[in-house]
Structure 1
């Protein structure tokens, strides 16, 4: 597909200046045949003779939000497998306003309704994590050890300090904070900024890449991280609940506010719609990420196991998973970037997800590979 054709289709549908870049993702998507080239010094770069899917100025327009700084030029970067390429470099201030209020998460008493609470995700469903839900957790999970509230006063045990947040918001919850509703506040965040490397030359091919904590899923247009699936088994195993707000997000003291789900409110807050769907942001591998449903409210059909497909106007791109799935994407079709310390341009080897060992279904069978963009 020619760049000009896609550019025209997108600018007619979305308008300038905000998302001139949107249709460019995937239009110059490369295949393995043209993507790698060996230099005289022996280094292999994955982008020689291939145009990036969008330029830096267009990328800046897509992320035109306060507190997001984008390098003026593509930076040379090294992905976790050792692949050398070029990336967009974004530095995000974590406590900036992201266009919507955050919270609430935990209600304070079992008498409080949905307006004072967030949501919980379980087996594909979204539940209001209100007082009544917390009161009935023992019934919901068929486990009498659940007791997050005082049966006399109805008051709910909530991590209401930074110390309590740090003790509970981790895989090995400290014993004194088991049977708590866990929430962390934005002011508890220890890191002020995060820097992201997003590859400028995504390409579909034979491999799929698993989503890791280091890669996350991607970055929303407002600068909030789309994160990997929440560790629900660890949370529930400690008889804790860590609700998300109505936008699908909560706070981790190390990465700040982040999304684990894309809800209708997330889409309305972030999105700019065309006649296909609503743009949400960029996946960590460089392809665009769009809403779960199309502009008519119907689920998008024909998606591969990573939640992606190709259209004439947009090329290859992803759609977010259903809000209750706790899985924004299933995998990546191109090698992802990562978040790094300021000034770094290399994804560490221990950030690498499995390559050539695709995700499996509930029966342990490898999932089908996405079609290559030939």
Structure 2
């Protein structure tokens, strides 16, 4: 899939972000593209839609100042959208590590992976985890290491990354721990999102494809194709933040472990914001300051007076962030419905 490119990265100034956010909050007829679309679904006002606060994103999350452009949702609503372009890398940190190098390596040498139960925290990818994969999955065919040298087999080159980081893993890259590097991305690699300035509730919940964008600018991805990954005797290793890299999406998250949480604590003890969905609603961590979960709808959303409608993520091993899209989304040029740059679809982990 051809992606829009941005060859001259530029950092946002905080003042620019504040100005754009202020314009959004004050209205300024940003929805003037054709407010006849049922007055931009008047119901968006009754749900307390808050929309994106650009000032909450990390420095360097965008490659250029987000624009406000005319757009039309997949449901046919004409509105205004933020056009956001990113570099495919998380702002402020270097991804990794992913795969351990020997069967004696501890948790500091590797990242994490979905638990076989499909719920709870990620499992540490240690040397011992690699060594005992046949026991873990109850399948003696697992051998992602050299029994003579105790070295872990992993994708150490771009060619290996391209052959393994795909649903139909090439034969020579099966029985590997998969890791890719940001250096494998094209020099002009970029991702562009179109996200409604004011979220618009959909008539019925929509399918999750690309989920959204984290506060560090990295993609919040749809479900990973677990069946294909495990069926090829590979582990598509995440780092400790719950993300990994491929050449189509750059670094992207499949779970959240706290790395993208806002530092500011909510006065009411609410869970931390981690990013925004492509329908414009905020996505918050699973649990609040007291370690409790809220009662949620089928999309993993709820409403309060401060945040309006918003989502809460699932646990790190559930291979999902949210259950469905509450709001209308926009299809990017050449991309799927969902407002994001790419799809990364698959069943929930270990589903039959």
Please, what TM-score do these two structures have when normalized by structure 1?
0.74
Tell me if the contact between 2:112 and 2:237 (Cα under 8 Å) persists in the aligned partners: yes
Unaligned runs of 5+ in 1: 1-16, 29-35, 353-358, 365-374
Q: Is 1:99 the counterpart of 2:95 in the alignment?
A: no
Change (3 A) 1:325 1:46: farther
Q: Is 1:163 the counterpart of 2:156 in the alignment?
A: no
The runs of at least 4 aligned residues of structure 1 exceeding 6 Å deviation read 48-52, 349-352
Within the candidate set 58, 65, 74, 1:70 is matched to 65
* Equivalent position of 1:369 in the other structure: none
Change (3 A) 1:98 1:112: same
Change (3 A) 1:183 1:70: same
Q: Note the alpha carbon deviations across 1:209-242, whole angstroms, 9 max, x for none.
A: 0111xxx111111111111111111100101011
C-alpha displacement at 1:139, in angstroms?
0.9
Q: Is 1:184 the counterpart of 2:180 in the alignment?
A: yes
Tell me if the contact between 1:337 and 1:347 (Cα under 8 Å) persists in the aligned partners: no
Distance in 2, Cα, partners of 1:45 & 1:165: 47
Q: Is 1:332 the counterpart of 2:329 in the alignment?
A: no
Tell me if the contact between 1:70 and 1:88 (Cα under 8 Å) persists in the aligned partners: no
Q: What secondary structure is seen at the aligned counterpart in 2 of 1:152?
A: coil
Q: Is 1:174 the counterpart of 2:170 in the alignment?
A: yes
* Equivalent position of 2:248 in the other structure: 254
Please, what TM-score do these two structures have when normalized by structure 2?
0.79
C-alpha displacement at 1:302, in angstroms?
1.1
Change (3 A) 1:21 1:284: same
Within the candidate set 85, 88, 111, 2:82 is matched to 88
Distance in 1, Cα, partners of 2:143 & 2:273: 41
Distance in 1, Cα, partners of 2:336 & 2:222: 18
> Which segment is superposed worse, 118-127 or 108-117?
118-127
Unaligned runs of 5+ in 2: 1-16, 28-32, 341-346
* Equivalent position of 1:368 in the other structure: none
C-alpha displacement at 1:102, in angstroms?
1.2
C-alpha displacement at 1:206, in angstroms?
4.1
RMSD: 3.4
